[in-house]
Amino acid sequence: MKRNPSVRDDHITLYELCNGLKRYIDKRLKNNPLWVIGEINNLKKHSNGHYYLDLVEMRDGKTVAKMQANIWGTTLSLLKEKIGDDIDNILDNGNSVLFQLSVSFHEVYGLKAIIHDLDLNYTLGELERKRQETIDKLKKKNLLDKNKQHYLPVVVQNFVLIASEGSSGYKDFVNQIANNSSGYRFNFEVLNTLVQGERAEEELIRRLYDAAELKHMDAVLILRGGGSKLDLEVFNSYDLCFAIANHPMPVLTGIGHETDVCVADFVSYESLKTPTALAEFLHDRAQRFEQKVIDRTKEICRKITNKIYSQHQLLVEHRKEVKLSSTSLISKQKDFFLHSEKAIRGSKKNLFFKVDNLNLVSTKISARVREIQSDQSVKLHKAETKLRSFSSLQISRNHNQLTTISKLLYNIHPERLVERGFATVIINKKLMTKETVLKIGDELMINVFDKEITCQIIQIKDQWTLNLMNKLLKD
- 240 with 270, same domain: the answer is yes
- 196 with 246, same domain: the answer is yes
Q: What is the pTM of this model?
A: 0.52
- 113 with 163, same domain: the answer is no
- 177 with 249, same domain: the answer is yes
- 147 with 243, same domain: the answer is yes
Run of H or E including 322:
helix 275-411
- 24 with 111, same domain: the answer is yes
Distances (CA, A) of 250 to 156, 170, 400: 11, 19, 117
- 108 with 135, same domain: the answer is no
- Single residue among 263, 288, 313 that ends a domain in this structure: 288
- 216 with 179, same domain: the answer is yes
Q: Which residues form the domain of 207? A: 129-288
- The domain that contains 107 carries what CATH number? 2.40.50.140
Amino acid letter, 85: D
- 110 with 162, same domain: the answer is no
- Single residue among 98, 118, 138 that ends a domain in this structure: 118
CA–CA distance, 328 with 308 (Å, rounded to integer) = 30
- 164 with 71, same domain: the answer is no
Residue 323 lies in a domain: no
- Single residue among 288, 310, 332 that ends a domain in this structure: 288
Contact 444, 457 (CB under 8 A): yes
- 77 with 99, same domain: the answer is yes
- The domain that contains 204 carries what CATH number? 3.40.50.280
Taking only the tens of pLDDT, the chain with its 475 residues reads: 555 656 566 788 888 888 888 888 888 777 788 898 888 888 888 888 899 999 998 888 888 888 889 999 898 999 888 887 777 777 888 788 888 888 888 888 888 888 898 887 777 777 778 888 899 999 999 999 999 999 999 999 999 999 988 888 899 999 999 999 989 999 999 999 988 777 888 999 999 999 999 999 999 999 987 666 666 778 888 999 999 999 999 999 998 766 667 899 999 999 998 999 999 999 999 999 998 999 999 999 999 999 999 898 899 888 888 888 878 788 888 888 788 778 777 777 777 777 778 888 778 887 887 888 788 878 888 877 887 877 778 888 888 888 888 888 777 776 776 677 778 888 887 888 878 888 888 888 888 877 888 998 898 887 654 455 455 455 5
Residue 361 lies in a domain: no
SS3 221: strand
- 246 with 143, same domain: the answer is yes
